[in-house]
Amino acid sequence: MTVDAWIAEPVNWVFSIVAVVILFTAVRVVTSPNVVHAALYLVAALAGSAVMFLLLSAEFVALVLVLVYIGAVLVLFLFGIMITRAPTGFDEGLSNDRKLVSAAISLVLLGVLSWASLSAFGTDTVNTVGSPTATEILGDAILGRFVIPFEVVSFILLSALIGGITVARRDLTPLEEEERKAV
């Protein structure tokens, strides 16, 4: 496939634009000097990923991503930021002083990963047929072939829930205990 043919496909324009948005926002997530902004950039990056899932005709996963991540997890993150009273203004001290080393490592990692996939898959194309994957197939797979892993995952979620509550709950100080009894 030639470069011209690739460019001639409008879907690839969408891909390119969204990919640029994702990469830009992802970079901002890890470089932004403002904690709240970083979390909000993550929203944008994840929304971009959801668009990618749609391009790959995985609409159910895309919606799950929007609902679970953007709807719930990010709110949790913002709560976490507020509760730990991280400086919500600009703060240059959010990153440590090993930026160059880390950037070099990341670039090498990117090079290795890209080279690996480029050399392995060449010009393979993705075979999305026009209609999106039926949610029925996904439901069948989750509650049929993968029902045991599904249950295991749900128990992981439950134990994380209980564990989270156990870890995060605060025992009252003796003083507060007194106050509570008095009431």
Partner 1 sequence: MVSSYVLAAEEGVAGLVEGGFWADTAGIMLITPFIAFLAIIALGKRMKYEGGEFAVASMAVNLVWATALFIQNMTEGGSSEVTFPIGGIGSGLQFELGWMVDGLSIMMYFLVSFVGLLVFIYAVGYMHGDIRVTWFFAAFSLFAGSMLLLVGAPNLVQLIIGWEGVGLASYLLIGHYWEDQENVNAGNKAFLVNKVADVGLVLGAIIVAMAVGDFGFVELSEASFAQDPTLSAVAVVGGLLLFLGAMGKSAQFPFHIWLPDAMAGPTPVSALMHAATMVTAGIYLMARTFPLYQNLASEIRPWMIAVGAITLFVIGLLALVADDLKQVLAYSTVSQLGYMMTAVAAGGYTAGLFHLFTHAFFKGLLFLGAGSVIHAVHSNNMSDMGGLRKYMPRTYTTFVIASLSLAGIIPLAGFWSKDEILATLDHEGYMVVFWIAVAGAFVTALYMTRAVALTFHGTYRGEGHPHESPLSMTGPLIALAVPSALVGFLNVPGVEIPGIGNFTEWLAVRVIPMGDNHPEGIAWNLAIIGLIAAGAGIVLGWALFARDAETQVARDRLEVPRLYPLFRRKYYMDDLALGIVDATRGPLARMIDWTNTYVIDGVVNATGGMGLALGRFVYGGLDQRGVDGVFNGLSVLIDGLGSGMRRLQTGRVQQYATAFVSGALVLVIVLMVLR
Partner 2 sequence: MPYDVGSLMLLNQFLVLGAALFSIGVYGLLVRRNAVLVLLSVELMLNAVNINLIAFESALVTNAAVGQVFSIFVITVAAAEVGFGLAIILMIFRNRRSANVDELDLMRW
CB of 181 to partner 2, least distance (A): 23
42 vs 183, beta carbon nearer partner 2: 42
Question: If contact means CB under 5 to 8 A according to the sort of partner, which of partner 2, partner 1, none does residue 82 touch?
Answer: none
CA distance 173 to 181: 12
* Site residues (vs partner 1, CB under 8 A): 96, 98, 101-102, 105, 108-109, 112, 115-116, 136, 139-140, 143-144, 147-148, 151, 155, 158, 162
Q: How many residues does the chain have?
A: 183
CB of 177 to partner 2, least distance (A): 17
CB of 180 to partner 2, least distance (A): 19
* Residue the block writes with tokens 């009252």: 172
72 vs 179, beta carbon nearer partner 2: 72
CB of 183 to partner 1, least distance (A): 9
173 vs 183, beta carbon nearer partner 2: 173
**Inter-CA distances, 17 with 24, 51, 66, 107, Å:** 11, 11, 19, 22
Nearest to 32 by CA among 86, 108, 106: 86
CA distance 22 to 14: 12
Nearest to 36 by CA among 72, 84, 71, 2: 84
Coil vs helix vs strand at 58: coil
7 vs 162, beta carbon nearer partner 1: 162
